[in-house]
Amino acid sequence: MAYRFVATVLACGTASLALAQDRAPDGRRYLSQPLVTSIYTADPSAHVFNGKIYVYPSHDVPTETPDDDLGNQYAMHDYRVLKMDKIGAPVTVGPVALDVRQVPWASQQMWAPDAAYKNGTYYLYFPARDKTKDKNGLGKFMVGVATSKSPMGPFKADPKPIAGAFSMDPAVFTDSDGKSYLYFGGIWGGQLQRWKNGTFDPNGSDTDLGQDTQPALTGKVARLNPDMTSLAETPHDAVILDEAGKPVLGGDHDKRFFEASWMFKRGGHYYYTYSTGDTHFLNYATGTSPYGPFTYRGHIMNPVQGWTTHHSIIETGGKWWLFYADTQLSGKNHLRNVKLTELTFNADGTIKTIDPLVK
């Protein structure tokens, strides 16, 4: 079934999505409207495959679990792919592409995914908790991969997670030379802080390292093997530098990495983009290599309605587009809706900051 860029009252399973309001509770107007209203979606990873746009989002589901620092309220358990012929065209919601019950190593919480294509095969990269137990009785987040001959799935998961990849928010970037790189990691519920010594500490911090005057924790990046299902190297730190050329500090919450890595290339420059988490910005930093280091440049988007901001950026139809999510449909942090808006560059390659809520 297809849906246009309008908000309607539709039922989905046990959830009946409310009519979208034109204005936020503070009276400001939403810059964009939800792409679909039949299901709750977030963390959109958009790609152009064979001339069509495919979006790989998280599939949010209702739960009575209260919000916490571990992210237990984000109880997603499957993926459904969105498809549109072009920007502004009707959006098709695909059937279930992969369910956590079909992943041998996983226990719960299939968070933000990404996808890639190579030699006739589509690859779905996803995080999920494994079946171990930490101090909170929860599994550790690992990164898995599944394959399909169709961009909409269904996907078949590899029996084990990707060796050497961990935490959450996988994102794949393929450079102009054909080499592909996997970015991953997130602090707080994503558990990146528990890998500080190279191995997982099940009793580690639930948030960060509490080292505000030290270099911030970084996302990770590693080149993928040609098989696209394994790492070719030990992951590197995706270091973000401040304007003085020094690593951004853990206490600089407006600049430091929290989650949601996304890489794109424009004009010979690598744009490493990410979310600041608890300060709710989408940021970008640039470098001359997919490994970095990356110099902080500014905010892509100011805070949306809702706690999380996770995005993707693509070029199609001669323009650049930012895919993001907010909570317009539900007003609840764990029930989000995917949106998009045009991304604009200045002549020097910097990005004009977007306000998702306007007067």
Task: Render pLDDT for 57-68 as a digit per residue (tens, 0 to 9).
Answer: 999 999 999 999
Catalytic member of 22, 43, 158, 242: 43
Predicted local confidence at residue 13, as pLDDT: 35
Asked about 43 being catalytic, the answer comes back as: yes
Distance CA 315, CA 243 (A): 28
Interval 38-53 mean pLDDT: 98
Catalytic member of 60, 114, 134, 259: 259
* Nearest Cα to Cα of residue 171 among 261, 278, 50: 261
332 pLDDT higher than 90: yes
- Span 310-319, pLDDT tens digits: 999 999 999 9
Cβ pair 190, 200 in contact under 8 A? no
Q: The tokens of 27 are what?
A: 């009276």
33 CB neighbour count, 10 Å cutoff = 17
Cβ pair 324, 301 in contact under 8 A? yes
Asked about 315 being catalytic, the answer comes back as: no
Number of H helices, E strands in the chain: 0, 26
DSSP for 221-246, written as a single string:
EEEBPTTSSSBSSPPEEE-EE-TTSS
- Residues of the chain with pLDDT > 90, as a percent, come to 93
**C-alpha dihedral, 31 to 35 to 38 to 42, nearest 10°:** -80
Interval 170-182 mean pLDDT: 98
Predicted local confidence at residue 22, as pLDDT: 81
* Confidence at 18, pLDDT banded by 50, 70, 90: low
- Span 177-220, pLDDT tens digits: 999 999 999 999 999 999 999 999 999 999 999 999 999 999 99
* Confidence at 274, pLDDT banded by 50, 70, 90: very high
Omega of the bond leading into 113 within 30 degrees of 0 (cis): no
Whole-structure pTM value: 0.94
Predicted local confidence at residue 19, as pLDDT: 56
Interval 289-301 mean pLDDT: 98
Furthest-apart CA pair in the chain: how many Å?
A: 52
2 pLDDT higher than 50: no
* Chain centre distance of CA 353: 19
* Chain centre distance of CA 52: 20
* Helix then strand then coil, % of the chain, to nearest 5: 5, 45, 55
